[in-house]
Chain A
Amino acid sequence: MTSAPYAWIAAIVAALALLPLGTSSNTVLNFLSFAMIVTVAAQGWNILGGYGGQFSFGHAVFFGTGAYVMALAQVRFGLNPWLALPLAMAMGAAVGYAIGFLSFRARLRGSYFALVTLAFAEVFRISANAWGFTGGAAGVLVPLKLDAAQMQFADKRLFYWLALAFVAAALVLTAWIARSRFGAQLVAVRENEEAARALGVDALAIKLRAITLSGAVTAAAGCLYTQKFLYLDANLAYGPWISVEALLAPIIGGLGTVFGPLVGAVVLLGLGEVTKTVFANLMGGSVPGVDLVVFGALLIACVAYAPRGVLGLLQGWLASARKARA
């Protein structure tokens, strides 16, 4: 691929941008906006986990930091959300750097790294739940001010387009990483850290850069979440749900690919909605958790049968179809 990824990004983002023109259904728009938020969080995970091979089980720590900084900057300090956004992303980056500095210097990898990130997320969750400044267990409510200057929109389509813009930016960033020296060195560290060091790669610095970027991107998703729902508590912001979805989307879509997180998030959340609807009809009422059961099964199925995710399967089919035609 030469400049192809950027052309693909333009085409896909344009197609996604046209979607709301066909519908004014709130359900559809809410679903699409939420899928974009998860996509951004998953893109952040993918930089560290997909390209860098460092599987985090606690990306909620970045998502929640972004979400809380965004909310508290407005509520406690009266900052404009457009100004709070870069601040929240910077805080996400800082938390990423700090966790990376501690864990990578201690040479944690594999399961140990996964567990330590999970523990950090839990520490943040319990603290946010206990601390008065963050609103404690009651959470934080961002006052409703439907005004573009407050990053709140009366028209739900506008919010969707805003979230889509973040997805586009994350896609461009990922495509750039994939083709840069940094990306090549990051992938080298994922494949074989020792060999990478022998080739002059400063593995620690590369991993730190990856987790810092990852933290900033996932924090941006948290900011979007705050502006979308205008309410946060510790279990929403730092809860395991977002750690799981940020990890599942890239794995199901295609680990370490530009479009994997987007494809994965749409497939995942789409399947989740279908499952919930089917079960609600079957059981005559909504059944909590059924969508997550499907997510878990999908994760195992992907690991077992589709290690390169949905995109990998598609590529395989296309290649064999082409061969069949030739």
Chain B
Amino acid sequence: MSVLLSVKSVTKRFGGLTAVDDASFDVASGSITGLIGPNGAGKTTLFAIIAGFEPATSGAVAFEGRDVTALPAHRRAMEGIARTFQIVQPFAGLSVRENIAVGAFLRHADRKDALGRADEVGRKVGLGPMLDQSAGQLTVAGRKRLELARALATEPRLLLLDEVLAGLNPSEIRDMMPVVQAIRASGVTILIVEHVMQAVMSLCDSVNVLAQGRIIASGAPASVARDPKVIEAYLGQGAAARMQAQGDAQNVAADARRGAPDA
């Protein structure tokens, strides 16, 4: 599999604070890759650097083998990198269709083409019946879909999803998962920042864990979830050992219940 996006030794400092510390990882073409980590790990900052909304202090971002580190956000969108926002940012005064059309206008200069494309994308993410509504009237779930639709309308090759599942209830999350999978099936690579763990585990082919600005683990979801470093990062110092101990204690207890054979 070829590499679509490559993050190389990216570091970001705000004054004395190092938000992202020498982070490197790749996103394979056609994959759904996860970027997870506890709160304050630097996920959103790293995400903003990849999308071109924050300059990195050092390091580089390459897209399709080309260095895009110096490109501003709108140029990266042109190159094929689209993003959504964790805090949804609809153009509240416009209709759903017009919202999506702003994305579609990137590759379709003609109004009719752009609106047609907007309808198409809107239906694909399940906003078909809401196209004429004002974006300000959408529910939270609807707004999340709108974020997705606008980004998709720019016809990206890489879609950066910033917590598209956060704030949704379990049934809304169940509805959203196939939408994300369908986007990947249509040939768009996805990098997803998420802390709804279960969703990440079932969606992603590969996961990178960020803690205190550093990538501490990368690999298949199942193996990452068992990694003691990851467990510690999420649950605190010594958690892995405690869980191990707990597991041992349970084994002892189970043994005890089975009864001592030679009492």
Contact = CB atoms under 8 A, between A and B. Distances in A.
- Interaction A to B: yes
Interface of A: 179-181, 184-185, 187-188, 190-192, 194-203
A202 B98 CA distance: 18
A199 B102 CA distance: 7
Scoring A187, A190, A196 by chain B CB atoms within 10 A of each residue's CB, the highest score goes to A196
A203 B82 CA distance: 16
Interface string B45-62: 000000101000000000
18 contacts: A184-B102, A184-B111, A185-B105, A187-B93, A187-B98, A188-B91, A192-B89, A197-B72, A197-B73, A197-B74, A198-B84, A199-B150, A199-B154, A200-B106, A200-B154, A201-B74, A202-B74, A203-B74
Contacts, number: 80
A184 B94 CA distance: 10
Interface string B100-128: 01110110011100100000000000000
Size category of the binding interface on chain B = 20 to 34
Scoring B51, B91, B92, B109 by chain A CB atoms within 10 A of each residue's CB, the highest score goes to B91
A196 B85 CA distance: 11
A241 to B, nearest CB: 30
A198 B102 contact: no
Given A181-B105, A181-B114, A184-B101, A198 B73 contact: yes
A197 B53 contact: yes
A257 to B, nearest CB: 12
A188 B111 contact: no
Contact of B102 (A180, A194, A196, A202): A196
Contacts of A179: 111
Nearest to A308: B93
A196 B98 CA distance: 12
4 closest Cβ pairs, A-B complex: A200-B77, A191-B91, A195-B89, A200-B106
Contact of B77 (A187, A192, A199): A199
A185 B89 CA distance: 15
A197 B91 CA distance: 12
Interface string B31-71: 00000000000000000000101000000000000000000
A194 B88 CA distance: 11
A292 B153 CA distance: 47
B114 A200 contact: no
Contacts of B74: 197, 199-203
Contacts of B192: none
B151 interface: yes
Contacts of B150: 195, 199
A164 to B, nearest CB: 28
